[in-house]
Amino acid sequence: EVSEMSERSKQNVAHGLAWSYYVGYLKIVLPRLQKSMEEFSRANPNVLSCRETWKLHILVPLGCDVCDDLEKADSNIQYLTDLTETTLTRAGTKNRVYKHSLYAIRGGDNKLWHCAVEYATPLQSLYAMSQDECAAFSREDRLEQAKIFYRTLEEILKCSKECAGTYRLIAYEESGEAEPHFLSREILWHLQQQHCEEYTVQEENTPHTPPTTLDSAELSLQISSSDLPQPLRSDGF
């Protein structure tokens, strides 16, 4: 009876998506990421010069606006190449391929920063649910669930020994104004912060967090203090 009530109210959407994303993808690929980065760096020593950025940068737009082509989302983001593929047999699929793409991010001074970056794909499911009337999933529901997804994923990864030091979550709220380089600016801030962390011994002043970048403390203030997701409305609004 409790299970049926939970299913009808869609209380576990974000929690389920976060756990599925971790168990079915991140837990598989992240422990292998460092080796791929090292292989690429040996062949291209001047590209990935800052080891602190040898991570998978996971974009978490809270509006769930996921663009399939990062180059189209922001012209300051250019595809460079793919890292070495990981091939595994999973769930009956022979030789399933997992891979990450490296991008060059151009800053305001035309300096290029390089990193592996991709969206958290489960956010596409949240967006699709908000567009499907059968899901009875409003825009407000989608935002609430996106925040819960981020917090849940953050907690899961913090407890994962296999994934320690291999990822960077970049949660942000999209700007209401048309900013052609909004996304590259968000990624650049995180890359620059990591660069400072690597050489922070003599540094006392660190960059200020841009207003669009959110951390878990801020998200905690914006959603229920309970760790459990709230029931979703089905009134169609």
Superfamily of domain 1-205: Stimulator of interferon genes protein (3.40.50.12100)
Q: What is the mean pLDDT of residues 26-50?
A: 91
Per-residue pLDDT at 132 = 78
Question: What would the DSSP string read from start to end of 179-204?
Answer: -TTHHHHHHHHHHHHHHHHHT-TT--
- Phi-psi bin for 95: left (phi > 0), alpha (psi -120 to 50), beta? left
b/e map 104-113, b = 16+ CB within 10 Å: ebbeeeeeeb
Contacts of 106 (CB under 8 A, 6+ apart): 76, 77, 78, 112, 113, 184
Q: How confident is the model over 127-172, as pLDDT tens digits?
A: 998 887 776 678 888 899 999 999 999 999 999 999 999 999 999 9
As a whole number of Å, the CA-based R_g of the chain is: 19
User: Can you give the pLDDT at residue 54?
Assistant: 95
* Of residues 208 and 155, more confidently modeled: 155
For 236, phi then psi, to 5°, come to 85, -5
Percentage of the chain exceeding pLDDT 70: 76
- Average pLDDT for 54-60: 97
Q: What is the pLDDT of residues 66-123, one digit of tens each?
A: 999 999 999 999 999 999 988 888 888 999 999 999 999 998 888 999 999 999 999 9
Instruction: Return the pLDDT at 216.
Output: 55
Domain extents in the chain: 1-205
Query: 231 by DSSP, 3-state: which?
Result: coil
Question: Average pLDDT of the chain?
Answer: 82
Asked if residue 9 lies in contact with residue 231, where contact means CB atoms within 8 angstroms, the answer is yes
